[in-house]
Amino acid sequence: MSEPNWSDLFRLLSGMARLFQSCSTEEELFDVADWYIPRMFPDVSGAIHLFADADARARSFTWGESEAIASPPDMDACEALAKGQPLLIAPDAPAQGDCAPGTLTVPIIAAKRPLGVLQLASDNAQALEGAQGMAFITAEHMALTVDNIRIRTRLKNLAVKDALTGLFNRRYFDETMNRETQAAKESGDPLCVVMFDIDHFKKLNDTKGHDAGDVALQSVGRFLGATAGENDTPCRYGGEEFFFVMKGSNYEQALAMGETIRSGIAALNITHGEIQVSPIYVSVGVARFPDHGATPDQLAKAADLCLYHAKEHGRNQVVGYETIKK
């Protein structure tokens, strides 16, 4: 193993740190890290593992050929990592927890919160020992940047997310409708909205309690989040009313999504303590831009009119605008 060129290493570190400052997402951060970090540790295999939290998913990238660091370690399975301390295991030493021999694991920590780990692996003990200093500095830069990104994401989510359901809120719905109707007008791409609300929701609150009602709303929110496609935006409009903005979906696809929502919610098993909350049912309205509404407000009102028609004709059904205009 050759002696490291410290001038080159610190030039790489400086370039990485400078670009980290301009990263607004973890995807951008990983693009930068994926280029710089393997070049900073050319004599070892390595991995960056970031843990999931309420505002970010888990993500990883690796370089080199070591399988020992392909997955993140259980931080609680090793005393050193549980305390937020780095762990170096020589190639001829026994494993500790999930950390194999011939590895260096450096926690990525901000404000005593573990955000992830930087791991290096090599059969050469000298290579691992020599990489420790740069690994510590790199982990500190990662921690600062990841923490800043997640704080900004958390603040943004507080402004546009509904606290109870985790769905986008009415403010974000209005912004999305303005943006997507304008985009659809310019591109000619299809755009539909699906609106629904929970049938007899007041009765549910009155008979089973408001806590049970909140559990029902949370269950609907989780279902919508899991059902939404890449171009769908599920929103809680207010109370028990919800919107599904479907960019790139035609009227028939929106009707099918309405039925997926109706039948899927009806099939949910929802309990609150010993209280059986489900089944719950929804009435659904579907409208298409620009035929059923040429502005955001007109499109939302068209879907609302369909929902009202569903309520008036038995509830627990999907009604499209083409049906009521006949």
CB 228 within 8 A of CB 245: no
* Dihedral of alpha carbons 111, 113, 115, 120, sign: positive
Cis upstream peptide for 4 (omega within 30°): no
Considering the candidates 186, 240, 259, 312, report the single residue annotated as catalytic: 240
- Number of neighbouring beta carbons within 10 Å of residue 159: 9
Q: Are strands 282-289 and 318-320 parallel, antiparallel or unpaired?
A: parallel
Phi and psi at residue 90, in whole multiples of 5°?
A: -65, 155
Taking CA 223 as the corner, what is the angle to CA 220 and CA 226, rounded to the nearest 5 degrees?
150
Q: Both tokens of residue 197?
A: 């609300």
312 is catalytic: no
Q: At residue 174, what are phi and psi to the nearest 5 degrees?
A: -60, -45
- CA pair distance 50, 67, nearest whole angstrom: 17
Residues with catalytic function: 240
